[in-house]
């Protein structure tokens, strides 16, 4: 792992072509290499290495039973809910 300013030379920040044209790297004093994003408009689920599933999800509106690809799924009820009522910011 790089430390200090060395990591800035080994990292890339991807921004829009318009941002490159507006010199965002200089305006925001970015130290990382800034490159334009290319070819992202055609990215689909099949391109996602670990997130390419498109399951059929069914929810019974009366029982709230959830099925994924026809298989009933369930989860254990939460016993601890961090950042809830004690930390409500609204």
**CA angle, residues 74, 54, 36, in degrees to nearest 5:** 125
Question: How does pLDDT run across 3-29, given as a tens digit for each residue?
Answer: 777 877 888 999 999 999 999 999 999
The backbone region for 72, taken as left when phi is positive above 0, alpha when psi lies in -120 to 50, beta otherwise, is beta
Question: How does pLDDT run across 33-74, given as a tens digit for each residue?
Answer: 999 999 888 988 888 888 888 899 999 999 999 999 999 999
Residue 30: Cβ within 10 Å count? 13
Question: How does pLDDT run across 23-41, given as a tens digit for each residue?
Answer: 999 999 998 999 999 988 8
- pTM value? 0.47
């Amino acid at each position: 792992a790089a430390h200090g300013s060395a990591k800035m030379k080994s990292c890339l920040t991807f921004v829009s072509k318009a941002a490159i044209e507006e010199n965002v790297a200089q305006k925001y004093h970015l130290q990382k290499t800034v490159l334009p994003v290319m070819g992202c408009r055609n990215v689909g689920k099949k391109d996602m290495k670990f997130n390419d599933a498109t399951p059929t999800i069914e929810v019974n509106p009366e029982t709230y039973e959830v099925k994924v690809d026809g298989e009933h799924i369930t989860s254990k009820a939460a016993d601890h809910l961090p950042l809830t009522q004690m930390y409500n910011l609204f």
